[in-house]
Amino acid sequence: MKIFKFGGASVKDAESVKNVASIIKNEGAKDTLVVISAMGKMTNAFEDVIDSYYNKKEDLPNKLNFIEEYHKNIMSSLFDKSDEVYKEIDVLFGELGWFLARNTSQRFNYVYDQIICFGELLSTRIVSAYLEKLGQENVWFDVRNYVKTDSNYRDAKVDWQLTEELITKKVDASKINITQGFIAANDTENTTTLGREGSDYTAGIFAYCLSAESVTIWKDVPGVLNADPRVFSDTTLLEQISYEEAIEMAFYGASVIHPKTLQPLERKEIPLLVRSFVNPKETGTKVSKGTRLVPYIPCFIVKKDQVLVSISALDFSFMVENNISFIFQKLHDYQLKVNLIQNSAISFSVCIDNKFNKFDAFYEELKNQFKIEVQKGVDLYTVRHFDDNAIELIESKGKSLLTQVNKETSQIVVNPN
């Protein structure tokens, strides 16, 4: 069985849905399980709904209307008004409205997961119904009945034993199956999510449990490139990557492959293909056991808008294990992801991602115990398999604030201003 995963950009409008249907017909007409994300930028739109629900309820009807009109505008180019899918979509919007009206929980992460899941439920219903309209029989199912997790909302951990039992028992591997990425459920049937960009991980979960032939992630790029084309004008397609190399790149922040996706695939040596839904005849990139990198060239990974923090003791004493352990605990408590560490005798520097906007609270707690220097809005460049030309290219991007080099990897923090 093959696993396909289509992200939001691949189903952003009616023509895109038609293209996905064409790819499924030509590439996976049977024995294929298709994982689909929310359409276009709908995850962001649902996050706006959540924000209005908490902070500006008078805007909530407009936010909901925008989402409903977006989906029904796509549907108007795919279906007749009398088609059953319109009733199915209305039921989903009714369920969303019921939750918004009846919810009494104040737990943000719980509420987030109960609302955000509708993006995936809507998109998969539409794609499944369109395939049926074309005569392509398929099985739509709710992934929450298959992938089970703990109750760590917004970043749930998979119960692998139960999930594998359910998937192997319930999935009909002879059919085309359509389901959702990113979402799951806990033991009380409440929706959980696997972390942002978790749809790739969903594909990996199904691949592992079904011992799939392969996983194909369909993107709007030719495959895995050696650099982000939005940042670098000259990029090269990587034809082959080993699991080890791909995990290294994902660890440093390469966005094409979700970090958690690779681990279950590696355990069963299931190849991962990254291909273009724009040019589906191209072979793209293959991630598998074996050759580390083809071609063997520098690979650039960029993390924008980072915070560089230098911490030292107020009495100029050494920054040793007890100080560093305390700081790391606080970084964990405030959900500040550390992307680079550098330690000297009297200072400890970290480049961190402030994606949950908790840095200021972290700073306030530590400022009376340590001397803290902060530079916000810096960029972190990681270069795998660097050479002199690669380093010169990064140094041309701005003022270098901190550099760390090992045998395979160079990391440079740059102030772009």
d(CA 369, CA 410): 32
Does residue 49 sit in the same domain as residue 182? Answer: yes
**pLDDT category, 345, cuts 50, 70, 90?**
confident
**Mean pLDDT, rounded, for 226-242:** 93
Query: Which residues neighbour 186 within 8 Å (Cβ) at sequence distance 6 or greater?
Result: 148, 149, 150, 151, 156, 192
Does residue 179 sit in the same domain as residue 311? Answer: no
In a domain, 24, yes or no: yes
Q: Answer whether residue 361 shows pLDDT above 90.
A: yes
Quote the percentage of the chain above a pLDDT of 90. Answer: 86
Is 135 annotated as contributing to ligand binding? no
**Mean pLDDT, rounded, for 190-202:** 91
pLDDT of residue 196: 67
In a domain, 284, yes or no: no
Does residue 179 sit in the same domain as residue 322? Answer: no
In a domain, 186, yes or no: yes
Is 30 annotated as contributing to ligand binding? no
pLDDT of residue 202: 97
Query: 233 to each of 109, 230, 276, 293, how far by Cα in Å?
Result: 39, 7, 19, 21
pLDDT of residue 417: 83
Low-confidence winner among 167-181, 247-261, 348-362, 364-378 (lowest mean pLDDT): 247-261
Does residue 41 sit in the same domain as residue 183? Answer: yes
pLDDT of residue 34: 98
Does residue 191 sit in the same domain as residue 86? Answer: yes
pLDDT of residue 256: 67
Q: Answer whether residue 274 shows pLDDT above 90.
A: yes
Residue 24 or residue 253, greater confidence: 24
Is 193 annotated as contributing to ligand binding? no
Q: Answer whether residue 292 shows pLDDT above 70.
A: yes
Average pLDDT value over all residues in the chain: 94
**Which among 201, 219, 237 is the end of a domain?**
219
**pLDDT category, 191, cuts 50, 70, 90?**
very high
pTM of the model: 0.87
Q: Answer whether residue 29 shows pLDDT above 80.
A: no
Is 4 annotated as contributing to ligand binding? no
Residue 108 or residue 323, greater confidence: 108
**pLDDT category, 320, cuts 50, 70, 90?**
confident
**Which among 219, 253, 288 is the end of a domain?**
219
In a domain, 290, yes or no: no
Supply the CATH number for residue 87's domain: 3.40.1160.10
Residues β-bridged to residue 383: 300, 410
**Mean pLDDT, rounded, for 397-401:** 95
pLDDT of residue 23: 97
* Alpha-carbon torsion (206, 265, 182, 32), positive or negative: negative
Does residue 329 sit in the same domain as residue 211? Answer: no
**Which among 219, 241, 258 is the end of a domain?**
219
pLDDT of residue 322: 82
pLDDT of residue 230: 87
Is 7 annotated as contributing to ligand binding? yes
In a domain, 210, yes or no: yes
Query: Which residues neighbour 322 within 8 Å (Cβ) at sequence distance 6 or greater?
Result: none
Query: Residue 295, preceding bond cis, omega within 30 degrees?
Result: yes
Q: Answer whether residue 396 shows pLDDT above 80.
A: yes
Total domain count for the chain?
Answer: 2
Does residue 204 sit in the same domain as residue 306? Answer: no
Does residue 163 sit in the same domain as residue 17? Answer: yes
Q: Answer whether residue 258 shows pLDDT above 70.
A: yes
Q: Answer whether residue 213 shows pLDDT above 90.
A: yes
Is 120 annotated as contributing to ligand binding? yes
Is 43 annotated as contributing to ligand binding? yes
Look up the domain containing 30 and give its range: 2-219
**pLDDT category, 318, cuts 50, 70, 90?**
confident
**Mean pLDDT, rounded, for 181-204:** 94
Quote the percentage of the chain above a pLDDT of 70. Answer: 99
Q: Answer whether residue 255 shows pLDDT above 80.
A: no
Q: Answer whether residue 259 shows pLDDT above 80.
A: no
* Per-residue pLDDT tens over the stretch 99-120: 999 999 999 999 999 999 999 9
